[in-house]
Amino acid sequence: MSSPKSATDEDTRGKPVEQITFRFCSECSNMLYPKQDDNSHRLQFTCRTCHYTEEAQSSCVFRNVMNNAAGETAGVTQDVGSDPTLPREIISCPSCSHNEAVFFQSQQRSAETGMKLFYLKPDFPQPPSLNWSHAGRTVGEWQLTLPQADAGLPPNWEVRHSNSKNLPYYFNTTDKVSRWEPPPGTDTEKLKHYMATHHSASTSRPADGPVPDGKIRAAHLLVKHEGSRRPSSWRQEKIDRTKEDAYSIIRGYEEKIKSGQSSLGDLAVTESDCSSARKRGDLGYFGQGDMQREFEEAAFALKVGEVSGIIETASGLHLIERSGQPPSVRLPIISLLT
């Protein structure tokens, strides 16, 4: 088996690869899980059984850090192989092509794009020349490389996730600059597919929950045009469609919603020109004076579950759906400043 590549290498298809490391506790041999230290904000490896902790020596060890208790519970358990809640798929090992590895994607989002972890079945071949024993779970470390999902971004750009805004953004790893809109040269079709797969969040609704006084919750789908006050979005750096073209596009979405062919949330994930697309168009709770007047009047006039007709504001053209119950995690208000 060939030796693992570094986190900066590229595979034969030219796609960037990301380094995955998993470690085992030197005290009790259980698998360690990654955790961000609340005080130093540095990455650590911690054992759930004996609380052994060691600091990560390389920033490449785990680029994707889980830093909240709920995320850690959802993303990693002591026996990851038997946890039925974890999304998983069987994939081949990128080093030796053996197909007995299971890839886990966390259900929570954090500072980056979500934690990834390999769990190896007991019959997985032992890598040579490494301090490793899966069956006995002795102290050891093994680094693998995975091709990153193709987001259609230019070289040196990647999608990251903002903790404060709870939204994805674009980061240049060379220049260390970030932006909310895709950089020039982005393949928008690939980006739409990537965002729908990796950065859309369904808003599960509990049976009941307090609704803030005087506030409502709604989702929307926005189609911008060249006359919008900011003719740019995460989907397209410069929007040059006419208002007439925008009306034609949003009428098509309206028909799909009315016919039951699709929902507003499903369409918003890939088609909305608002950053709320990452949350299926969900804007959180807002009250009088929080939004643009035309949008606000239309939203407050809707009944729960009702979808508006086409609403025009300075931002563009909207379809609005009013919802009643809060999402399982309170979402921040995304003001219509786009």
Q: What is the pLDDT of residue 223?
A: 96
How large a percentage of the chain has pLDDT more than 90?
20
pLDDT in tens, 20-46: 444 555 555 444 555 656 666 555 666
How large a percentage of the chain has pLDDT more than 70?
44
* Torsion sign, CA atoms 60, 181, 319, 212: positive
CA 183/CA 189 separation, integer angstroms? 14
**Token digits of residue 301:** 């006039």
Q: What is the pLDDT of residue 258?
A: 92
Bridge partners, residue 218, by sequence = 322
User: How buried is residue 268: exposed, middle or buried, by Cβ count under 10 Å (0-12/13-18/19+)?
Assistant: buried
Bridge partners, residue 162, by sequence = 167
Q: Order across the sheet with 157-162: list the strands.
A: 157-162, 167-172, 177-179
Catalytic residue among 47, 274, 275, 323: 274
What ranges make up the beta strands (E) of the chain? Answer: 17-23, 33-36, 43-46, 53-55, 88-91, 101-105, 116-120, 141-147, 157-162, 167-172, 177-179, 216-223, 282-286, 311-313, 316-323
Catalytic residue among 36, 143, 315, 323: 315
Catalytic residue among 105, 107, 292, 325: 292
Active site residue 318: yes
Q: What CATH number was assigned to the domain covering residues 216-323? A: 3.10.50.40
Q: What is the pLDDT of residue 302?
A: 94
| 92 has a pLDDT exceeding 60 | no
Q: What is the pLDDT of residue 243?
A: 96
Query: Which has more confidence, 114 or 219?
Result: 219
Catalytic residue among 220, 275, 276, 323: 220
| 170 has a pLDDT exceeding 80 | yes
The stretch 132-151 carries a mean pLDDT of 41
Active site residue 292: yes
Q: Domain residues of the chain, as ranges?
A: 17-147, 157-198, 216-323
Active site residue 274: yes
Average pLDDT, the chain: 63
pLDDT in tens, 197-215: 665 544 333 334 556 678 8
Catalytic residue among 19, 199, 318, 323: 318
What ranges make up the beta strands (E) of 37-175? Answer: 43-46, 53-55, 88-91, 101-105, 116-120, 141-147, 157-162, 167-172
- Reduce the DSSP state of residue 163 to 3 states and report it: coil
Q: What is the pLDDT of residue 9?
A: 29
The closest of 2, 24, 5 to 16, measured between CA atoms, is 5
Q: What is the pLDDT of residue 82?
A: 41
